[in-house]
């Protein structure tokens, strides 16, 4: 859905406490989360404001976002 939020708390509500803890105690997790949140905001902004970008560019952004989400999920589920 266009403009839908994909922040980690919406994506993984079962890890809310762990997300908060790792964001404050794990530098790598915090950096990845910031990168993920910034990319998600960029994608939402492009979608909501109908910015003229190519489908390939948007698809590439979403691929990076899902790669980051997978890495963050791996950190959440194995720590």
Cα 2 to Cα 78: distance, rounded to the nearest angstrom? 31
Cα 29 to Cα 57: distance, rounded to the nearest angstrom? 26
pLDDT tens for 13-51 read 999 999 999 999 999 999 999 999 999 999 999 988 877
Domain extents for the chain? 8-77
CB 22 within 8 A of CB 75: yes
User: What pLDDT is attached to residue 2?
Assistant: 56
> pTM, whole model, 2 decimals?
0.86
């Amino acid at each position: 859905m266009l403009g839908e939020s994909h922040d980690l708390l919406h994506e993984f509500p079962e890890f809310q406490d762990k997300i908060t803890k790792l964001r404050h105690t794990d530098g790598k997790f915090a950096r990845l989360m910031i990168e993920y949140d910034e990319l998600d905001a960029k994608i939402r902004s492009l979608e909501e404001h109908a910015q003229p970008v190519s489908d390939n560019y948007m698809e590439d952004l979403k691929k990076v976002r899902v790669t980051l989400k997978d890495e963050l999920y791996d950190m959440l589920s194995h720590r």
